[in-house]
Amino acid sequence: MNKPIVFIDVETTGLSVTKDRVVKISLLKKYPDGKISKGSKLINPGIDIPSEATDIHGITNETIADSPTFDKVAAGVFEYLKDCVIAGYSVERFDLPILIEEFGRANLEFNTEDCQVLDLHKLYVKNEPRDLDGAYKHYVGEDNTLSDVDAMASIIDKQIEKYNIEDLNSTIEDLSSDRVDFAGKIINDNGTAKLTFGKHAGIPVIDVDKDYIRWMLNGDFSQDTKVKLKKLAGV
């Protein structure tokens, strides 16, 4: 590399790039000569940190009470990223976009046109495909020459062995614990069925406007989703 690489990791108040805020930013810069500099900073987001977010990163409203707001550190972070390759795991999907939003609120325009990004997740998936052949290669250790169903049967045998699965029924239940419908339009969030999309995303189905429910029931959604929705909404 002829440029430094800056690895980015942010903790936030939630998963919305436009509505949520950064509560912690960690940066590591690796220079072409191998030199490394790094640091992290707690940020006061100026809004409440939901308990769901705290459960993930451990940062509470009390933790950041005396921390600076992002606009106080924005210029320094902006300069630190200047003329560098931006890197991270799924950095294109979340960390960089939410950081750009924070820069915008601080009246700093981040140049995305000339920005070089190295997304470790995309690199991982590119070189370790998550398709059936990739899974077969990973678990069985050789290229797949079998039919799909035979390959699947071989993969599960290796998975049971690798993960020491003694009770497959319990594993199936665990993998399905957050699923309500197969299309993923409704999810089980700690025992509460919630929608996963649109203006009512994250809202318990029972609290969703009944006109919206009827729109879904008459719309282009799977039969499975409609059956589950009708039962949950009581319409």
pLDDT tens digit at each of 235 positions of the chain? 799 999 999 999 998 999 999 999 999 999 999 999 999 999 999 999 999 999 999 999 999 999 999 999 999 999 999 999 999 999 999 999 999 999 999 999 998 888 899 999 999 999 988 999 999 999 999 999 999 999 999 999 999 999 999 999 999 999 999 999 999 999 999 899 999 998 899 999 999 999 999 999 999 999 999 999 999 998 8
* Calpha distance 229→234 (Å, rounded): 8
Cα–Cα distance for residue pair 109/140, rounded to 1 Å? 49
Confirm if 181 and 224 have CB atoms less than 8 A apart.
Answer: yes
pLDDT value at position 87? 97
Bridging pattern class, strands 22-30 and 36-42: antiparallel
| 33's tokens | 């000569």
Q: What are phi and psi of 23, to 5 degrees?
A: -115, -15
pTM: 0.72
Classify residue 121 by its DSSP letter.
H
Distance CA 138, CA 143 (A): 9
- Rounded distance between C-alpha atoms, residue 109 and residue 123, angstroms: 27
Residue type, 124: Y
- pLDDT number for residue 198: 87
Report how many helices (DSSP H) and strands (DSSP E) the chain contains, helices first: 9, 7
Are 8 and 38 in contact, with CB atoms under 8 Å apart? no
- Over its C-alpha atoms, the chain yields an Rg (Å, rounded) of 23
Per-residue pLDDT at 112? 84
- How far lies 163's CA from each of 139, 156, 175, in Å? 11, 10, 14
Q: Which residue has tokens 């909404």?
A: 233
pLDDT at 26 (0 to 100): 98
What are the residues facing 171 on neighbouring strands?
A: none
CA distances in angstroms from 192 to 72, 183, 210, listed in the order given? 39, 17, 18
